[in-house]
Structure 1
Amino acid sequence: MAVGTWWQDEQSRDASDARLRGQRTAMLAPYVTTLATENWEAAVFTRPSRPLAAGAGFRMGRLEFEPSDGDLLVETFKNMVVPKFQAIPGFEGTSLFIDRARGRATVGVLYTDHTALAASRAAQAAVRGEAITKARFTLRSVEEFELAFMTMPEMP
């Protein structure tokens, strides 16, 4: 299970974490036995045009890179990966979350439904292979999920 929230700035995120830590644990207790909270920079993202329905597809890749290559990863994702992902049928949105100090990142891609998610595997793998060569990162895992719930607050 993966749950994500977005905050305008670090101060808002930290204040929210202090207030919601107990509620988060109680809410997820029926589903998980361990809980990890991590903070990432949302380096690049494209939003879906609308909230997606339950059953939409989500693919997440976990990456590692040399911290000195963080800017290269962001630049490659923004200028090469995003346009190629947008050309894949069923694509709805993508994000690159990065922890520059630890040399870790996650890439998430949303698709309209499970059929589009499955059909996108080869195309997304080809883009990923090209990005690995250019941005010098190591792919640690690729995971697929079914979207259960999504909200999209207004962006400032």
Structure 2
Amino acid sequence: MKKWIIVVILIVVVIGGGSLFYVKSRENSADASTKTVQTATVEKGTLSVKVTGSGTVESASSKDVEADKAATVEDVLVSSGDTVKKGDKLITFEDGSDPITAPISGEITSLSVSSGDQLRNGQVVAHIKNYNQLETTISVDETDINKVKEGQDANITLNVLDDKTFNGKVTDVAE
């Protein structure tokens, strides 16, 4: 009978010790899984989204200069690269008729006549671009295109001008 009592006591001690170990290990694992979280108050503000792409910069205003009559050129008063104002004389004629004048202000980007040339009515004699207002056409990744809307402000950085930034507006978004 003594053996039975010792066996029962041993079983009770083993079960009691196992239970105590189980309870303590559960408490420690609960403490280990608890994490401290930092919180903050949400404030209203401006959110800016950066969309990048590459593209071209061009003059927003350019014009072909055409002869409005058939005539012989007496003198060409400008050269390619010259800056002109709207109304400046560009070409005079031997017959003394009205000269060809600049239809817009800007830079002469091409000139295709010289003194003594015989012009035809409608012949393109020069091209003028106004670089005071520029347009950019930019290719944007399809995942970003929904972030670009007509009328949005845009900052355009040109790496060819030492990363100079220009301000503008989105005027059109292609589908």
TM-score, structure 2 normalization: 0.22
Greater relative contact order (CA < 8 Å, ≥ 6 in sequence): 1
Q: Based on CA coordinates, which of the two structures has the bigger radius of gyration?
A: 2
Instruction: Give the structure with the higher percent strand.
Output: 2
Instruction: Give the structure with the higher percent helix.
Output: 1
TM-score, structure 1 normalization: 0.24
